[in-house]
Amino acid sequence: MQKQKAQLQKLTLVGLTVRTNNKNEMNPETSKIGRLAADYWSNRVANNIQHRSKPGVTYAVYTDFESDEQGDYTYFIGEAVDSLEDQDLEKFKTITIPASNYQKFTTEPGKMPDVVISAWQAIWAMKESDFGGKRKYIADFEVYDERSADPNNTVIDIYIGIEG
């Protein structure tokens, strides 16, 4: 996995959310993320999001952390928008990823979902020094763009919020 530091501006996103934790996600019977993502993709939810700033670029965000990767968190899937005007806020949730410093990890090409699972397992095994700063646990996220169009040859970026 390649890594580099990145400083990003604030992003406003519109999409779907679910509350979960990694323990539940390891069990197919209690996993929620896979079902939410499948619903998002199969129902072409992005087509109903107004004012998309980067159509076709999907953000999967882990936020509202109870503690760290061991606790509960909110999983979000959706797209960046230029405006919240005209959004169906009864159907969709909005979140803001704050401007911050991030460690960006780019995966090697691989099959979905294996490439994502392997990347997160490597990240969870890292020490603070591997991140170039202490993790903030505010918003970590995956970016799915044209490099992830082929489920057998997917590349994604994962951004981990860090201090400094």
**Tens-digit pLDDT string for the chain (164 aa):** 999 999 999 999 999 999 999 999 999 999 999 999 999 999 999 999 999 999 999 999 999 999 888 899 999 999 999 999 999 989 999 999 999 999 999 999 999 999 999 999 999 999 989 998 999 999 999 999 999 999 999 999 999 999 97
Q: Is 15 within 8 Å of 39 (Cβ atoms)?
A: no
Q: Is 143 within 8 Å of 62 (Cβ atoms)?
A: no
Instruction: Report how far residue 91's alpha carbon sits from residue 47's, in angstroms, rounded to the nearest whole number.
Output: 13
The separation between the first and the last C-alpha atoms of the chain, rounded to the nearest angstrom, is 22
Of the candidates 117, 112, 122, which has an alpha carbon nearest to the alpha carbon of residue 151?
A: 112
- 106 exposure class (CB count in 10 Å sphere: 0-12, 13-18, 19+): middle
Q: Which domains does the chain have, with CATH numbers?
A: 2-162 (3.20.80.10)
Question: Quick count: other Cβ atoms within 10 Å of Cβ 96?
Answer: 11
